[in-house]
Amino acid sequence: MSWKRVCSANDVAANSLKQFDVDGVPVLIANLGDEFRAYPPLCPHMEERLEESGICEGGLLTCSKHLWQWEMRTGEMRGEAEKPLLLYELKQENDDVLVNIEKELEYEYEEDSEEDDDGFWD
């Protein structure tokens, strides 16, 4: 277990996202107004940077590229989403936002192939 300070609570405005580098690991911090959450920085759909494509509203995060949506507190899927959001463990100590990074969390992306399932099941 390795708790690292990411930023101060004032660094991320309410209902917004900001990306930080924590010893070489990119971490996206979300301020829900009353709590913070930490995610990997890329959309699980097509590797868009959520700091740019993400919209926070009413506790939901929406990637504006293809409207995948998630519950910000839990990462659960909503709307068009087909994969949940991964979360880092996070805690706040006074003004400091800390994240527990055991290893970098990353999504698996499918190869961009059009018809790769022909002739496999014979």
Give residues in contact with ligand FES (CB under 6 A).
43, 45-46, 48, 53, 63, 65-66, 68
Residues sharing a CB contact under 8 Å with residue 98, sequence separation 6 or more, in sequence order: 3, 4, 5, 6, 90, 91, 92
Closer CB to ligand FES, 9 or 55, in the complex? 55
Least distance between ligand FES and beta carbon 100 (Å): 26
To ligand FES, the closest distance from the beta carbon of 80 in angstroms equals 7
Question: What is the bridge-based pairing of β-strands 25-31 and 36-39?
Answer: antiparallel
CA distance 17 to 33: 11
Least distance (Å) between residue 78 CB and ligand FES? 12
